[in-house]
Amino acid sequence: MQYFEYALLRRFGYVLDVEATSIYPEHIDVIYSYRRSQYQYSQFVHLSGAGFVQVLGGAQGFLFLTNRLVGPGRVGPTMKTKDYQPGAVAEEIRQDLHRFCSDQEALVKFYDEELEKLGHPVEEPPPLSI
């Protein structure tokens, strides 16, 4: 499982939509009544409904998809205004995540906080001696 990727997405307002099939042991057959195909990657949906993210993991990172089914009059009463533009909302949440992932200082702080939550002390590497 990609603990840090999942934690990062939760921090940015995403919730788990569908878990990757490979997460489960081989003897467990996962079937979703509303989906026929298995998922190779775990998928999250943003709380706004405007975007999906699949966790590719490692250096591959995330795969973002704008939810084109969300639009005025299609979801909840708060989104029924003509001014609501799901594409713009999706782009904003994608850029926020990208900016954060591109900020080395912010990422180090995030990882340190997550390690603390897990009960691992944040350790400085030993001084380099030659």
What region does 13 belong to: left with phi over 0, alpha with psi -120 to 50, or beta?
A: left
Q: Where are the beta strands (DSSP E) in the chain?
A: 14-18, 42-46, 51-57, 61-66
The H-assigned helical ranges of the chain are 3-11, 86-102, 104-117
Q: What is the DSSP letter of 128?
A: P
Confidence of residue 25 (pLDDT cuts 50, 70, 90): confident
For the segment 61-91, what is each residue's pLDDT rounded down to a tens digit? 899 999 988 765 555 555 555 666 778 889 9
The residue-averaged pLDDT of 48-66 equals: 90
